[in-house]
A and B are shown apart, each in its own frame.
Chain A
């Protein structure tokens, strides 16, 4: 199925929870509200004509510029984009889902933004979401085992965020 047809099917079923799309990009994407992620993903997985059974990658891209002068010239507001790359083994089509999250929940620094976990739909999301939680600080609701996977368990901070400050010391070991 072409991406335009997939968008039509989704928009007819989910209406205004699909907030945008960019079908001209190299990998066309569909943007949705974070609350709609779980029902839309279930539909994408279970529907016979779509049957997206392979979740390739979950990424969190941090759109934030620390320098206030450069931030004023940027064409985006600070936010985090959750990017899901899906593929179907049976039909061969690909799709990219995006959900826009605030960088901090309720704009309170330190409170992690929340989104539902899709690990009940694709088992591979279990470890990918742990990695995104570890490195970018997104909280996944209903995740069976959300703890750090690459950094040590007692690490503080979320390294892949653009405003991350490297700690000068860890357990007495001095860093730069």
Chain B
């Protein structure tokens, strides 16, 4: 009060007593961040002004290891990248190796790979759908999705012995042919009320699964897609424009949800698209006639709906693949060019060349870049991950959203940290 005291201007507030901005940490351990992702949210109350993702908690140095192992030995590392779609990861790397050594596999291998890759896509989109519902608070779609996924995993177990980390698709083909007789998978037996000891071929078990799941996919639409609460939480949020999606390198359902008509199964390199040329399917791109009026092309709801419709298309693809598999003969794995034995893949010296190949995995376009230098180990094995680029768009689309919308936006991008961190 005395004249000698300094009176501070109340409009000038020091930084550490500012009350208008908070830094909230959505830490690496969080139920809704789809793995070990750390998001630092700079918020003004409840409204977000900036999201800073921090990644690298699951970095396992797969690329450095790839320089010390032969491609066949590195296939299990690709499984563990996008662990929810291991088959598609294996396929991407096996095709990149085949591109490098300039090998075209026979048609039987292509048909088996098609069936397996599309089943993997179904399994992965089921997780994407179920986990998204879980992030938003509903538990039932998650359990339905995992009930269906159990049957797919049982079918994969009959083929290659593993449920999550398959290492099934190798350079040159696949490790085992689809089995002729199996015991019906227990989940499928329980749900379709068949005799649990029934013996049937893998293809027939797969067809029984497809017949069973087809009407159920329509149920999921009533559970989530057309649910008023779900629409309120997802429509009109996290809008990603076409130009931004292309500039940020987003691919897969994130890109198609923004309206860009691109799918590598049609537009990719011929060594990959030849798997799909005889099997017609729709590429899912908005606008959709049955989109709710609140939704905008490029928002969470559209990305989610693209995944749901892609699941439907994959069912048709698997069915067509199984029909074609019944008619075709041949080997399930071929030796490298110029050699006689499939075991020669283990010691194969890679040519002095380099190859980059992208394939359409459930989460986007996954690219593998291999540089060979006349040795068995590649000089460089790089994986370009789809979720890495999809996640980089998160800061841009979540500006202005509420804190509670962050799980909805991050969930609609459907990222897997194993792929991002490698």
Contacts and interface: CB of A to CB of B under 8 A. Distances in A.
B382 interface: yes
B59 A56 contact: no
A26 B368 CA distance: 14
Interface string B103-125: 00000000000000000000000
A33 interface: no
Interface in B44-64: 55-56, 59, 61, 63-64
Contact of A61 (B358, B367, B371): B371
A26 B392 CA distance: 30
A26 B262 contact: no
Nearest to B101: A26
Interface size class of B (residues with CB under 8 A): 20 to 34
A85 interface: yes
A126 B392 contact: yes
A127 B421 CA distance: 12
Contact of B369 (A85, A89, A152): A85
B118 to A, nearest CB: 24
A150 interface: yes
A89 B246 contact: yes
B354 A92 contact: no
A36 to B, nearest CB: 22
Contacts of B100: 26
Given A53-B247, A54-B246, A25 B369 contact: no
Contacts of A26: 99-100, 102, 353-355
A85 B358 CA distance: 11
B247 A25 contact: no
A151 B59 CA distance: 8
B145 interface: no
Contacts of B382: 57, 59
B355 A85 contact: no
A82 interface: no
Contact of B384 (A56, A61, A148, A150): A56
Interface in B235-293: 244, 246-249, 260, 262, 267
A27 B244 contact: no
A10 interface: no
23 contacts: A25-B354, A26-B99, A26-B353, A27-B354, A56-B249, A57-B356, A57-B382, A61-B379, A61-B380, A83-B369, A85-B356, A89-B246, A89-B262, A122-B247, A126-B392, A128-B249, A135-B63, A149-B56, A150-B55, A150-B59, A152-B56, A159-B61, A160-B63
